[in-house]
Amino acid sequence: MSLKLKSNRAVFSLLTAICLLAIVGAFVYQLIVPLADKVKARADAQALEQELSTKFRDSRDDLDEASAIVEARTWTGSADQISPIILAETTQFAKDHRVRIGSFRPQRIVQNEGLDQLTFLVLAEGRFLDVMAFAKDLEEKSTKTAVAQIQISSSNGEGDTVSAAIGLAAYLKPEEEGGASG
């Protein structure tokens, strides 16, 4: 009987050791697996944070570029200071292309948030290609005015002389004090 009892104790000890080992294994597994998930979640969060930071930096750079473009194309000062500058520039372009300016009329100022839109109506006459080159210079060489509209009609049925009504737009950032910048 003592042999059986010793044998049962050995089996019981072996089973106890296996159970303890299983409990310790389960406990270790419960510690390691969530830890690995937390490490992966932390790495994913850091990758997302890096990606968002990069996108934010790129967006800020795009905004800075756009702001610089707007700033370069915006007049400062008052409409009374800027209108003569635009007239002089328009007159010079007309002379360069042998186009006669019939009139240069400031139109109503449209006020927007932080910017005023100055519009001008230019009535010009000349050969078709000269008028088109004049309009192109108004659009491309003038850094702070843009051609908003153009309407061309034949002056007479026989030649290539045309009349053009050109709408110019300029944007003004009003200042409390200071001069026009061109």
Q: How far apart are the first and last CA of the chain?
A: 114
Q: Which domain holds residue 21?
A: 1-72
Contact between 75 and 109 (Cβ < 8 Å) = no
Determine how many CB atoms are found less than 10 A away from the CB of residue 131. Answer: 25
Range from 29-38, 83-92, 108-117, 162-171 carrying the lowest mean pLDDT? 29-38
Q: Specify whether 38 is located in the same domain as 86.
A: no
Give residue 4's pLDDT: 60
pLDDT digits (tens, 9 = 90+) for 42-54: 888 898 999 999 9
Q: Specify whether 164 is located in the same domain as 92.
A: yes
- Counting Cβ atoms within 10 Å, is residue 39 exposed (0-12), middle (13-18) or buried (19+)? exposed
Q: Specify whether 50 is located in the same domain as 78.
A: no
Q: Specify whether 83 is located in the same domain as 28.
A: no
Q: Say which DSSP state 78 is in.
A: -
Q: Tell me the pLDDT band of 6, cut-offs 50, 70 and 90.
A: low
Q: Specify whether 79 is located in the same domain as 67.
A: no
Q: Specify whether 25 is located in the same domain as 60.
A: yes
Q: Specify whether 168 is located in the same domain as 81.
A: yes
Number of domains in the chain: 2
Q: Specify whether 37 is located in the same domain as 126.
A: no
Name the H helices within the chain.
Answer: 2-72, 79-96, 128-140
Give residue 15's pLDDT: 83
Q: Specify whether 89 is located in the same domain as 4.
A: no
Q: Specify whether 83 is located in the same domain as 121.
A: yes
Tokens of 42: 């932390």
- Counting Cβ atoms within 10 Å, is residue 168 exposed (0-12), middle (13-18) or buried (19+)? buried
- CATH number of the domain that residue 143 is part of: 3.30.70.60
Tokens of 125: 């006459």
Q: Tell me the pLDDT band of 21, cut-offs 50, 70 and 90.
A: confident
Q: Which residues contact 146 (CB under 8 A, 6 or more apart)?
A: 139, 168, 169, 170
Contact between 93 and 138 (Cβ < 8 Å) = yes
Q: Specify whether 13 is located in the same domain as 78.
A: no
